[in-house]
Structure 1
Amino acid sequence: MDFGGGKINRKSIAIVLMLTVAIMLCISSAAAATTTNNTVRNATAYQAAGSTTTTTATTVTVTISQLDKSSESVKKFIETNKRLPNYVTISGKQISTAQFLTLLSYGVINLNSGKTTSITLKKSINAPPSPTQTAKSGTITKANYVKYAGNLKTFIEKNGRIPNFLATTSGNMRYESLVYMYSKIIVFYGDNKRLPNTVSVTPWTVKSTSEGSTTTDLSQYLKSTTDAPSSNTTIKNLAASITKGKTTTYAKAQAIFNWVRDNLTYSFYYNTIKGALGALSSRSANCCDTTHLLVALTRAAGIAARYQHGECQFSSGWFGHVWAQVYVDGKWYNADAIGDSNTFGTIKNWNTNTVKLKGTYATLPF
């Protein structure tokens, strides 16, 4: 047989073919291994980017007694700290407040029907992406809060998350107010073995400290912390320099946001490593440390700021992400300084409509 200008016998051809197949198999295996390793690395990166110090259970079964006990703890926590807890411990497991609200709604529905059997939740529930409210102080009747629990249950089972608000006779109630209201209802049941005829409600920014007294508290979002040391001289001096000549809170907050966005470059790594001072010194940081600097400078200027953590859909895919919210004139403004296209109050580098909110913090826990 003539092959490439020379003669090769059948045995030689067979050997060549066998070697060729072997080489192709090796290349194929190596490519598959590379693909697998890349997939593992990407999955690990995604999990780490979205990780926190708290792991919540996906499946949990609780008794009414356990729900009552946890409701009492959550109610006291809210009244003491003026915020939701980062997680709720129930039936020996840690669950998110979104999962807890789901259990509360199931509990109210069951108790209204005379059922006192255990309740099982078999999936994780996402927090609302953009909670809002128009609710005013007032009371809600038993018939209505039971109906709202049903509406809540229907929405959660369809969408896998808590709604941004729930329409009530007192106005649109946001997530946090719903947790507080339904916790009070379950606590009442635990004490009286019946559901209350009515339940009092207040807007979330005004939270009861005791019966008959209220307070508005942003102090937790103004405190100096290890990673956002707003009382540090360097931070205070820089904040004063950035806001010099600005006469309104909005103008000051906007100036600080613009400075952080324009003076730091993005650097990829997981969780907090540098803190605000390290980010300022290196002028390069990930989303956590960039947000630490933004929060520190904002608080140093006397403006409340907090952290948001969620899974966000960027053009390149889904990633765990951290950004700030700044409180100006009664409103929380989004402030994500890692995107050059972002402005104060407006996020353009990821889809705010699909965000899976994981937590809101005065101090970032990771």
Structure 2
Amino acid sequence: MPEFLYLVSTAIKYKHLNNLSSIKVKYDINDPQNIRGASILGYISNKEFYITVKKVISYIDYYNVGPNYISTKINYKGSDKVVKIQYQLIIFLFSKFISNDKIPNSLFLNISYSNPISNSIPIYNREGTKNHLNNKYNGESLVKYLKASKNCQSNSAYVKKLSKKITKGCKSKLQKAKAIFNWVRDNVVYTSYYNTKYGAKNALINRKGNCVDQSHALISLYRASKIPARYVHGYCKFVSGHWYGHVWTQVLVGKVWYVADASNYELNGFGHVNNWKYNSYSLYGKYSRLNF
């Protein structure tokens, strides 16, 4: 679906420029992972629409990911307001716009956040695509992936209470695993420094940490919920183009070790990484505990 969004965005751009050249299809664009937006009521002008189109193209060209949302100016009763149009509404809007034989001067939008369009996330994986960061469980003993350690205080009363609060209402292990990941990603803000500084408990209390402490936080909450989890250490090329040593998490649900990297609020989701190039990283190892 993000490939379709890029294609239709480029088609609109070409139509605006009266460019009759062929459009080169861009493959392997990743799905957004933290979609959010607001209810939309008002008119989007022709000019603002093309600004939005260019924002989408630029975002995908830089990150190779569909945008969670795009900030756009909407006019209602003579007053302009900046709103966040979420991913699926962007697809709907662009499709509606390009379906016109003549480019309209403006489009009226009245879509509430409760609209089914707002809550249906279009995801389409082309045949043959594979996530190399999720691995099959090989049957090894899981005891060490459930134990507390010096920096992974899964036996702490604070961590246990928080884990229980986050997973309240979850009916399956997968729901719990996703809820814990989303909470850490959205609440423990990434901060740059080397190695362990806080450990799990203090990272959760302070609501901040680097990739190591975010991993401590994630794994402690998983283990407190009796879900096996482990550390992964590697050398990664980030979307900025720079290479860095990096730590992330894998959590076992069923027969799959799912990747859970909370280091980027905008780009990463449960089972998916978009802030570094997962096809060209160097793996150092997978561990039940870290010594740094």
What range is the shorter-chain TM-score in?
Answer: 0.5 to 0.7
Alpha-carbon distance in 2 for matches of 1:236, 1:342 = 25
Scaled by the length of structure 2, what TM-score is found? 0.53
Which residues in structure 2 correspond to 1:192-207 (within 5 Å)? 205-206=138-139
Answering whether residue 256 of structure 2 is matched by residue 331 of structure 1, we say: yes
Specify the SS of the correspondent of 1:290.
helix
Shift of the 228–132 alpha-carbon distance from structure 1 to 2, 3 Å rule, reads closer
CA displacement 1:66-119 (0-9 Å, x = unmatched): xxxxxxxxxxxxxxxxxxxxxxxxxxxxxxxxxxxxxxxxxxxxxxxxxxxxxx
- Of residues 206, 223, 228, the one that matches 2:152 is 228
| 1:242 matched residue in structure 2 | 166
Scaled by the length of structure 1, what TM-score is found? 0.42
Alpha-carbon distance in 2 for matches of 1:245, 1:130 = 28
| 2:175 matched residue in structure 1 | 251
Shift of the 301–131 alpha-carbon distance from structure 1 to 2, 3 Å rule, reads closer
Shift of the 131–277 alpha-carbon distance from structure 1 to 2, 3 Å rule, reads closer
| 1:217 matched residue in structure 2 | 141
| 1:27 matched residue in structure 2 | none
The alignment's C-alpha RMSD in Å is 1.5
Alpha-carbon distance in 1 for matches of 2:135, 2:192 = 32
Specify the SS of the correspondent of 1:259.
helix
Shift of the 131–252 alpha-carbon distance from structure 1 to 2, 3 Å rule, reads closer
Question: Offset of 1:131 from its aligned partner?
Answer: 8.6
Which residues in structure 2 correspond to 1:148-227 (within 5 Å)? 205-206=138-139, 216-227=140-151
Alpha-carbon distance in 1 for matches of 2:133, 2:179 = 24
CA contact (8 A) 2:135 2:256 kept: no
Q: Which has the higher helix share?
A: 1
CA contact (8 A) 2:134 2:256 kept: no
Max Rg structure: 1
Letter in 2 for 1:242: I
| 2:284 matched residue in structure 1 | 358
Which residues in structure 2 correspond to 1:94-109 (within 5 Å)? none
Residue identity over aligned pairs, in percent, reads: 46
Specify the SS of the correspondent of 1:347.
coil
For structure 1, list consecutive stretches of 5 or more residues without a partner in the other structure: 1-128, 134-203, 207-215
Specify the SS of the correspondent of 1:353.
coil
Shift of the 226–344 alpha-carbon distance from structure 1 to 2, 3 Å rule, reads same
| 2:184 matched residue in structure 1 | 260
Q: Which has the higher contact order (CA 8 A, sep 6+)?
A: 2
Answering whether residue 229 of structure 2 is matched by residue 301 of structure 1, we say: no
Q: Extract structure 1 runs of 4+ deviating beyond 6 A.
A: none
Answering whether residue 282 of structure 2 is matched by residue 349 of structure 1, we say: no
CA displacement 1:278-306 (0-9 Å, x = unmatched): 11121111000011000000110010000
Alpha-carbon distance in 1 for matches of 2:188, 2:286 = 24
Alpha-carbon distance in 2 for matches of 1:337, 1:299 = 17
For structure 2, list consecutive stretches of 5 or more residues without a partner in the other structure: 1-131
Letter in 1 for 2:138: T
Question: Offset of 1:132 from its aligned partner?
Answer: 5.7
Answering whether residue 224 of structure 2 is matched by residue 291 of structure 1, we say: no
